[in-house]
Structure 1
Amino acid sequence: MDTLLNAVIPIFGLMAAGFAAGRFGVLGAGASQPLNRFVFYCALPALLFRSVASTPLADVLRWDFILVFTLGIVGVAVLSLAASALALKEGIMAALMRAVNATYGNVGYLGIPLAAVAYGERAVVAAGLTVLINAVVIIAPATAAVEIAARRGAGKAHVLHGVVLAVASNPLILAIVLGLVISAWGETLPVPIDTFLSLMADTAGPCALFALGLYVSGRPLTRLYGRLALGAVLKLAAFPALVWALVAWVVPLDPVLAAVAILMAATPIGAGTFVLAERYGIDADETSTAIVVTTALSIPTLGFLLVLLST
């Protein structure tokens, strides 16, 4: 529990600092937008590229672990899309964003430190793999789907050209692809480049969380809490439950990898979803609130899972 609190409290601290800066007008009106653009175009691509490029393909290609986590993402995304269509009667853009929120966890800044302390070095590699899975299985398809939904009504050739151009020019997807090329090549990054990328990547989490606090400070969010129950249940309960069922009955993993997969599935919504929501103008109010709410709720839920998995 100490580890969990040590990871969660700084996350809330960054959000609170951004919130305070927004409320007191320290950075002026609309400061979250340029900060989010910096994260989207500079910091997150550096983080993703360096993470992928520095991971040997032999460690990346743990197909049993990848299969379990991917099946969990797909299963929960389908549940979320069905709930959005049948229960909430939402449009396609809002439904897509809700599905991203239900599956994209804070595996980088909360999950990896938690796994490292709970299970050691071997768990770090597996937890780091979920960062790549999130990028490839959630971010890339979500970007493509949002672009397709945004261009409905245009000719097929125009839609296809627009989607290909948008996906190919997306800095997050480009970073992943280039990172995979470097990883497959087997070469290490030159020290000056690696140091530059490390410095840039280290700003991604703090800036995204600070920008989230800035955004929340200017929004009346209390009206949204009634809509957050579904997302919180899907992210903090349904996702880890589905992954647990998969490792128990479909794709068995050794105990450490199984525990890491379950814990990563149970992490709260990652701040990267807010960057996506703000970038495309899709329910940024609800997404920002959902990150805060699920992060708070994850303290008891992750603590409970740690105890349960250790028995």
Structure 2
Amino acid sequence: MNLLLTVAEVTAPVFLLALAGFVWVKLGFDYSVQFVTRIAMTLSLPCLIFVTLMQTDIAPSALTAVSLAAVAAYAGVTAAMAALVFALRLEVRTYLAPLIFGNTGNLGLPLALFAFGNEGLGYAVVIFAIMAVYSFTVGIWLVSGGGSPAKVVKEPLVAATLLGALFLWQGWETPTFLTNTLTLAGQIAIPIMLITLGVAVARFEPRSLTRGTMISLVKVVACAATAWGAGRWFALPPVPFAVLVLQLCTPVAVTSYLLATKYGADADAVAGLVVASTLLSVIALPVLLAFVM
């Protein structure tokens, strides 16, 4: 009973904030997803990542271990999802990238924070940054055939990760007034991303959820198994191990739908994956959290 209560206390804020965004749209209120997402990705989230890394007490060796485990896990997930796409004869441009890249920002970061505090958030932002670099290169190439390594360097969240890692390595600290400013800006990220997730789900009108649900179920099982194996292989301690599993098992990201729309893939099919996997995560993530806590 205590474990169930703990899991509920961790996951309830995540899904209640998403529900708030869902209800907001259903009540007919305006919400600009593009504007809010831009604010989050270019200002608030980079501030959160930088401050979290700068102030973390995690040893650099531990961050290296979780980084290597994340790279190995994403390689395994890529292979597994490619096998699934080819086995089901699905369109690669439409399905492969969404199945590889989960919603590690909107759901993964707050879940790690609520479950494991600042230590969990520190590991989560590293995994998120690795996913972002992979997504901005291979992910965009899969959808459009035009991924650019130069674009990665220009992304604020990647720059924030590299700078935060440098400050962590050197033991540097920004002046107090600047740290407070960056912290305040970063505090916007988690609630606004969760609300935006709810808004996006409320606006999606997928053709069918049946295929999306079945594929999403296979995705979460494959991702859990791959992350579990990578975490054990690199002998991760309990907290980074749990964060790695949860991050890899997050549902299909809303950005996958935006990329599908931009580059001419089947956006309705991706919308079905986003909605189905997000709804499935209401059950799957608490169950996984109960196993790894």
Q: TM-score, normalised by structure 2?
A: 0.80
Q: Paired residue for 2:18?
A: 15
Write the deviation string for residues 152-173 of structure 1: whole angstroms up to 9, x where unpaired.
Answer: 4xxxxxx6xx714422221221
Q: Is the 8 A contact 1:243 1:262 kept in 2?
A: no
What SS does structure 2 have at the residue aligned with 1:220?
coil
Correspondences of 1:113-124 after superposition (within 5 Å) = 113-115=114-116
The equivalent residue for 2:222 is 238
- 5 Å-filtered alignment, 1:75-86, equals 75-86=76-87
Corresponding position of 2:111: 110
Deviates more, 1:34-43 or 1:62-71: 62-71
The CA deviation at 1:223 is 1.4
Alignment CA distance shift 1:225-1:173 (3 Å): farther
Aligned AA (1:229): M
* Per-residue CA distance 1:200-226 (angstroms, 9 max, x = gap): 111112111111212222222471342
Q: Name the structure 2 match of 1:214.
A: 199
2:30 matched to 1:27?
A: yes
Q: Spell out, residue by residue over 1:278-303, the C-alpha distance to the aligned partner (whole angstroms, 9 max, x if none).
A: 36747562325423421332223432
Which one has the largest radius of gyration? 1
| Alpha-carbon distance in 1 for matches of 2:165, 2:140 | 24
Q: Distance in 2 between matches of 1:70 and 1:206?
A: 28
* 2:55 corresponds to: 54
* SS of alignment partner, residue 148 of structure 2: helix
Indicate how the Cα distance of structure 1 residues 181 and 3 shifts in structure 2: closer, same or farther if over 3 A, else same.
same
Q: What percentage of aligned pairs have identical amino acids?
A: 18
Tell me what 1:269 maps to. Answer: 250
Secondary structure of 1:293's match? Answer: helix
CA distance in structure 1 between the aligned counterparts of 2:20 and 2:104, rounded to whole angstroms: 27
Measured in 2, the distance between the counterparts of 1:163 and 1:53 equals 28
5+ unaligned residues in a row in structure 1: which ranges?
Answer: 117-123, 153-158
Residue of structure 2 in register with 1:120 after alignment: none
Aligned partners of 1:41, 1:128: CA distance in 2, in Å?
19
Gaps of 5+ in 2: none
Structure 1 position 144, deviation (Å)? 1.2
- Would you say 1:71 and 2:72 are equivalent positions? yes
Q: What is the CA-CA distance between 1:58 and the residue it aligns to? A: 3.5
Does structure 1 residue 294 correspond to structure 2 residue 281?
yes
Going from structure 1 to structure 2, the CA distance change for 1:169 and 1:71 (only over 3 Å counts) comes to same
- Structure 1 counterpart of 2:49, one-letter code: L
2:160 aligned residue = 175
Residue 143 (structure 1) aligned to one of 132, 136, 143: 136
State the distance in 2 between where 1:186 and 1:280 align: 41
1:258 CA displacement: 4.2
Mapped to 1, the partners of 2:21 and 2:29 lie a distance apart of 10
State the 1:54 CA deviation. Answer: 2.6
Question: Does structure 1 residue 189 correspond to structure 2 residue 174?
Answer: yes
Q: For residues 170 and 5 of structure 1, do their structure 2 counterparts lie closer, same or farther at Cα, with a shift above 3 Å needed?
A: same
Return the alpha-carbon distance in structure 2 between the equivalents of residues 277 and 91 of structure 1: 14
CA gap 1:210/1:132 in 2 versus in 1, 3 angstroms: same
Q: Deviations over 1:218-257 (max 9, x none)?
A: 222471342233333333x333333444555x4445xxx1
**1:133 matches 2:127:** yes
Q: Give the aligned residue type for 1:140.
A: V
The alignment partner of 2:97 has SS state of: helix
The offset of 1:127, in angstroms, is 5.9
Q: Return closer, same or farther for 1:187/1:279 CA change in 2, 3 Å cut-off.
A: farther
Aligned residues: 282
Report how far residue 261 of structure 1 moved.
0.6
Q: Which 10-residue stretch deviates more, 12-21 or 223-232?
A: 223-232
8 Å Cα contact 1:46/1:201 also seen in 2: yes
Report what 1:156 is aligned to.
none
Q: Distance in 1 between matches of 2:226 and 2:163?
A: 32
Q: Which residue of 2 aligns with 1:96?
A: 97
Q: Which stretch shows the higher mean deviation, 201-210 or 69-78?
A: 69-78
